[in-house]
Structure 1
């Protein structure tokens, strides 16, 4: 029987392998497995935001250009996004335990190499390696949870998994600020070494290798090449679009190439004995809706959060550590709400929690569109907390819908899909909302400048000023008189806030659209099959 036929059968029949027998001892114990994979996942999630705080110090210490510093982030993001689904397939083929452990060891080793690097080129190269090993680790973690937990407990497990990711992502700026300020930028990477060692020790002792009966035996090399090229073109266009211009032939060329490559990839999957992504997976309405929801959620969350850090640091003048502390309501609410969301989804199904989560996210985005220069901590905390409350059930529910409704032998591919959807959504949100910000600044800065009766500047100077204002920085030249500097700061902040308001309004509208998509979700066949199964 071919893999395609197997998937089509799995789409019609409940998966009989989702309720493993209770484990005896340490190895394979579900909750200990969750703890072990959470340590590795925390390392990768933390790295997604902690490095941004270290970039200025890296630039100064290594004499790097702005473009090189951008590549420290872009190289990691590209390697991660391009490799996730292929990495998930490797886990399905060779076992998620082995893939997870290799990912942890490689990620920690690459982190140590970055800390020892004496040039920015080496930092970029090892960041790419970090992305590749992180891609191995993340889908394998979800594959292990899928194989270890019975269906009626999977939502709770993914709730805690989502809590770890949310807390690590939001806590990155705080920890990064403390380390850079009081130790060194290298410590941001060295911290992954002891965490990685702990994850490996726990993994060797606790994790149990699960192999599905119908696990893939071969690789679709052509599909891997096509999908990798398509993902690269898409993410590259989103990264470079703001610099090149969204109407530039290079941006359009890469976007067009991505569309063509995705179409060719989809067509190729119909004629391969063991396809990389069997298209029959998407016959599952919950799985397809979950992928779309993950993209839209990441669009609103990551795209919006991108501006919040600039608002706190450049408009309110907070340090990185202080801005991180002001985001604690978001982090805290995700920590509290994620396990609760898992329990609610297990009891009532995903539809109501997912719709409610996206509605809360939309309200939070609309509320943050009203943030002003004088907005106090209490008001900010309300909107940040509401955003965390909304994101938690979506992170948990959409992940479970994707991973829990895939056949067991494709749990790694499903985990890769979930992570790739987050990467695409976050990149798309940052790109689109960034373009909205740039458009607003370009249309309003000159008028606001004139209305404030500031000295006229040349078109070239206004263009440079716009670039600074897009991140909330007042374009104040050295030696500017204090009264003029104050006016420039007022204009810059007012213009930035108008752009941020428009960006959050769009993010809110996207969240409303996601709430409508969430009405299409339902408890999938695999989850139903596990109802009433043996408890842990």
Structure 2
């Protein structure tokens, strides 16, 4: 297939061949702020769920509607990242970033003023479309703005924004809910969008790739449909806590089949939406899988951490957000430090050590109980953040270094898509472990209750505590706390195992240290 050559530039194009200038740092600030808005929206809603369930103060959302108000955003975001990367490579990264930011801002306002839970779910899905256009463009633009000497540092700063969002999202949400109505957690995105749009015109290069790849609609459809089916199956399987349900099994099997067909199709087309041949490079595969496993552990641990702090320790949403903040400190320390360490020692030892540090942070949850003090908990969070920050930036740089210049949009889409998929899997899998272990742990201790009440109480710690309050049985609150802590211990072991697997994959995948060497699958 023929490719159309273009060389479109504008006055905002920067020269990456010299030491970074003030203009380049401003360009990076715009890209980091753009990604920060996307990551914030992954975290702010968790604190607002209780308010949204209130029929007076919120929307009277049911538990299932609350789950899908979170999942609709992540689901659409994850499955459309491939498409966003392809469109960015074809039509220009700055153009797609601007389109995504405008769409993200408009749909954030829509979500803020949603009149029902169903409307909120739809609006959140639309926000996911905007995010899917933003994320691939930000990483690809970093590759345009910075040369190889400074790109690792820029990517480290860019990667650190995700950790900042993980910590500040709950705090920001709690602060807003203390003073404004629930829609403010979405409306806060609008001024961020305005700043990013203005900064994009002023500081980002408007260059369009010199090789306009022919659009691959079949690849886009297959990848989107396959990922949608897999992610939907994982999310819904976690909601139902029944992985043998025919709908769940069919969705997962169908999704895997579509992804296999996608790979076969992409191997046969001249201009694929993503060149799956890149996965023949063991370093590329190892880095991609390690990124996914990192976010599997982190997102899963943040899920049960919120319940631990608010349920077992009785913290308010704002207090919970403040207690999670140390993870951001770890990310801020780990991300820039890793860039220096990689230059001195290479990717393999640095990222392997980082993944093992993260593993330690996850497994350390087994030492927490109902009476554990916060300082010990904060140390564990710092370890998680330090490991994540030091692992994600070098692996992301390794992924981008292998990509051809005109494929950075699609390549960064793979990177970001795997982050989201890892996060979705982490919450779904570790959440399912949490639910099933909790039920098995507390059910024998509820034998003295009427059968209907016992079944209801075993569904979740919140249900157990609620029944205890209604029946004036304070021992049920103790049962809930003890059962949850045990379930959290089991889930943390699973999360730690995923991080440890990531360390092994990195050590294996980067076993050839020569920068020019490549390994084949």
Q: Does 1:506 align with 2:491?
A: no
- What is the CA distance between 1:286 and its match in structure 2? 1.8
Structure 2 residue ranges without an equivalent (≥5): 4-13
From the superposition, tell whether residues 48 and 473 of structure 1 become closer, same or farther in structure 2 (CA, over 3 Å).
farther
Q: In 2, are the aligned partners of 1:315 and 1:472 still within 8 Å (CA)?
A: no
Of 446, 451, 457, 2:450 maps to 457
Q: Which residue is 2:6 aligned to? A: none
- More deviation, 299-308/427-436: 427-436
Q: Which residue is 1:230 aligned to? A: 226
- What is the CA distance between 1:64 and its match in structure 2? 2.8
Of 247, 253, 258, 1:250 maps to 247
From the superposition, tell whether residues 116 and 23 of structure 1 become closer, same or farther in structure 2 (CA, over 3 Å).
farther
Q: Does 1:146 align with 2:134?
A: no
Quote the Cα distance in structure 2 between the aligned partners of 1:178 and 1:52. Answer: 13
- What is the CA distance between 1:342 and its match in structure 2? 2.0
Q: In 2, are the aligned partners of 1:362 and 1:509 still within 8 Å (CA)?
A: yes
Q: Does 1:30 align with 2:31?
A: no
Task: Map residues 54-453 of structure 1 onto 2, 5 A cutoff.
Answer: 54-60=48-54, 61-216=58-213, 218-244=214-240, 245-449=242-446
From the superposition, tell whether residues 402 and 316 of structure 1 become closer, same or farther in structure 2 (CA, over 3 Å).
same
Structure 1 residue ranges without an equivalent (≥5): 4-17, 530-536
Quote the Cα distance in structure 2 between the aligned partners of 1:524 and 1:170. Answer: 36
- What is the CA distance between 1:120 and its match in structure 2? 2.8
Quote the Cα distance in structure 2 between the aligned partners of 1:474 and 1:362. Answer: 32
- More deviation, 437-446/128-137: 437-446
- What is the CA distance between 1:478 and its match in structure 2? 4.5
Quote the Cα distance in structure 1 between the aligned partners of 2:459 and 2:348. Answer: 42
Quote the Cα distance in structure 2 between the aligned partners of 1:213 and 1:521. Answer: 32
- What is the CA distance between 1:44 and its match in structure 2? 0.8
Quote the Cα distance in structure 2 between the aligned partners of 1:116 and 1:297. Answer: 35
Using the size of structure 1 for normalisation, the TM-score is 0.89
Q: Does 1:474 align with 2:488?
A: no
Runs of 4+ in 1 over 6 A off after TM superposition: 23-26, 523-529
Using the size of structure 2 for normalisation, the TM-score is 0.91
Q: In 2, are the aligned partners of 1:220 and 1:276 still within 8 Å (CA)?
A: yes
Let me know the Cα RMSD of the aligned residues: 2.3
Quote the Cα distance in structure 1 between the aligned partners of 2:211 and 2:513. Answer: 18
Quote the Cα distance in structure 2 between the aligned partners of 1:435 and 1:266. Answer: 30
- More deviation, 204-213/150-159: 204-213
Number of aligned residue pairs? 503
Quote the Cα distance in structure 2 between the aligned partners of 1:457 and 1:341. Answer: 56
Q: In 2, are the aligned partners of 1:23 and 1:30 still within 8 Å (CA)?
A: no
